Amino acid sequence: MIIEYAEKERTRKLYEEAFDDPKEFVDYYYSDKCLDNRMIVSFEGGEVVSMLHLNPFSVNLCGTVVPSYYVVAVATKESMRHRGHMTRVFEKTFELLKGEKIPFIFLLPVDESIYSWMGFEKICDFSKDRIPSYYEIQKKYDIYCVRDDDYVRRMNKEDELRKLDMGEVLPDNPVIMAKITNLEAFNSATGKEFANEKEALDWTKKKRIYICEEV
C-alpha cells in the first residue's frame, strides 16, 4: 500500500538502517526538518518498507518564486528490495505533485543512474561551500532556494553540526538532479512554452544554479 504517511517517527528505523548519518544529525532531522516535510511510503505488514521524504523549499526560478521539494531519505528495507516498492513510491509521488501543480523537484543522488530512467537529469554540481551572503546569491544566480527565517535557522544548525563532524554524510562528488513534475506549472512560472520535460530541463541546465542544501 502506497500512502502519504503521517507517523513520521516510525520511519526513523528505516532511515537509520539505510544511511550512515551521525545520530546527532538524525536527531536534528527528525526533531526539526520533519516538522513540515512529507513522507510517501510503501506500508506492508504494519511497517514502512520503502519511503522517500519531500522536504519543502521555496525556489526562485528566474525571478518567480515557486514551491518545490527536495527529495531525500530514499530507502527500501534491505529484505524488501527489488520488488518494485520504490518505483511505486515514486509513481505515487509524481501523481500527487502533478495534481498539486508543483513545477519541479530535485535531489542529490548517490548514483545518477538510479534516477535518470525516471526523468531526473543533472542540472548542476552540489555546492559544498555555502555562500553566507543571500544578497550575493541573489545577484549571481538565476535559480536558488529562498532563505526565510526557518531556512536560516536550519542552515545555522546544519553548519554547526558540520563543524562538529556530525553533519549528513554526502557522496564524494555530489550533484543535483531535477525532474519536471508539472510542465504546465513550469511553463507558467518561466513564461515559456516548452513542449516536454526534456526541453524544460535543457533550458534549466543553461541557467546559473546554486544548490547548497543538504536535506
Model confidence at 211, in pLDDT bands (50, 70, 90)? Answer: very high
Buried b (16+ CB within 10 A) or exposed e, 101-110: ebbbbbbbbe
Residue with cell 513520521: 8
Q: Is the pLDDT of residue 214 over 90?
A: no
The alpha carbon torsion through 176, 146, 7, 74 (nearest 10 deg) reads 0
Residue with cell 503521517: 6
Contact between 180 and 114 under an 8 Å Cβ cutoff? The reply is no
pLDDT at 172: 86
Model confidence at 96, in pLDDT bands (50, 70, 90)? Answer: very high
Distances from the Cα of 169 to the Cα of 89, 146, 197, angstroms: 24, 24, 31
pLDDT at 57: 98
pLDDT at 77: 97
The rounded mean pLDDT for the chain is 96
Q: Is the pLDDT of residue 171 over 90?
A: no
Closest CA to 44 of 87, 15, 3: 3
Per-residue pLDDT tens digits for 143-162 = 999 999 999 999 999 999 99
Q: Is the pLDDT of residue 128 over 90?
A: no
Q: Is the pLDDT of residue 170 over 90?
A: no
Segment 125-138 mean pLDDT: 93
The Cα 71–Cα 54 span in angstroms is 5
DSSP H helices, the chain, are 12-18, 23-31, 85-99, 113-116, 134-140, 149-163, 183-190, 197-205
Percentage, residues of the chain above pLDDT 90: 94
Q: Is the pLDDT of residue 95 over 90?
A: yes
Segment 109-136 mean pLDDT: 95
Q: Provide the 3-class DSSP secondary structure of residue 126.
A: coil
